[in-house]
Structure 1
C-alpha cells in the first residue's frame, strides 16, 4: 500500500523538493518523511482562516489549467472592450445630442430674425446651419 502511494506521489514530491526546498532527490537519506502537498496547502489555508483571514491567496499555483485561464482572460478583455465601446457610444451620443440642440436653437433664432425682418442675421445663421448650400 505504501509503495503505491509513493509511486503516485513521487513526481509531485520530487518537484516540491527541487522547487521549494532546493534539494535533489539523490542527496536525501531514504528515511525522510514525505507529506502530501494537497494536505499541506489545505491545512495551511484552514489555519489562516482560523486566524481571521477570510480569503487566502495561494502562494503557489495549484491548478495548471492554462486553457481555462486563457479563456477567462479573453472574456475579461472582451468585457473591458465592450465597456469601452459603450462609453464611447455614450460620449458620441451626448455630443451628437448637444449638436442637435444647438442646431435647434439656431433654427429658432433664424426664424425669430426672419420675423423681425433682420434678413442679414437670418442669412448668416442659415449659412452656419448649412454651409454647403448656396443661399
Structure 2
C-alpha cells in the first residue's frame, strides 16, 4: 500500500504546475481535440473511399463476366451494351 501511495505522490509531483494559466491550457486541449477529430474524419473518409472503390471493382468484374457470357451465347447486342458501360472513355 505504501508503494502505491509513493507512486501516486511521484505522479502528482511530476504533473505539478508552476504556472497557472488555465485558459491557455484549455485552449491547447481544445486545439488537440479538434486536430484529433479532423484526423479521425480523414481516416473514415479514406476507409469509405476504399470500400466504394472495392465495390465498384466487384461490379466491373461481374459486368465483365456477364459480357463474356453474352458473347458465348451469341447475344452480341447485350455484350456490346455492357462493353459500352465498362469503357470509361466513351460517353454514355
Fold match by TM threshold 0.5: yes
Runs (5+) with no aligned partner, structure 1: 1-62
Match of 2:45 among 79, 88, 108: 88
**1:44 alignment counterpart:** none
Alignment of 1:36-115 (within 5 A): 63-115=20-72
1:114 shift after superposition: 1.1
Runs (5+) with no aligned partner, structure 2: 1-19
Match of 2:79 among 122, 125, 128: 122
1:64 shift after superposition: 3.3
Q: Which runs of 4+ in 1 moved over 6 A?
A: none
TM-score norm. by structure 2 comes to 0.68
Q: Distance in 1 between matches of 2:88 and 2:43?
A: 32
Tell me the secondary structure at the aligned position of residue 56 of structure 2.
helix
1:132 shift after superposition: 2.3
Cα RMSD of the aligned pairs, angstroms, is 1.8
1:67 shift after superposition: 2.4
Tell me the secondary structure at the aligned position of residue 132 of structure 1.
coil
TM-score norm. by structure 1 comes to 0.48
How many residues are aligned here? 72
Alignment of 1:26-45 (within 5 A): none
> Higher relative contact order by CA 8 Å / sep ≥ 6: 1 or 2?
2
Larger helix proportion of the pair: 2
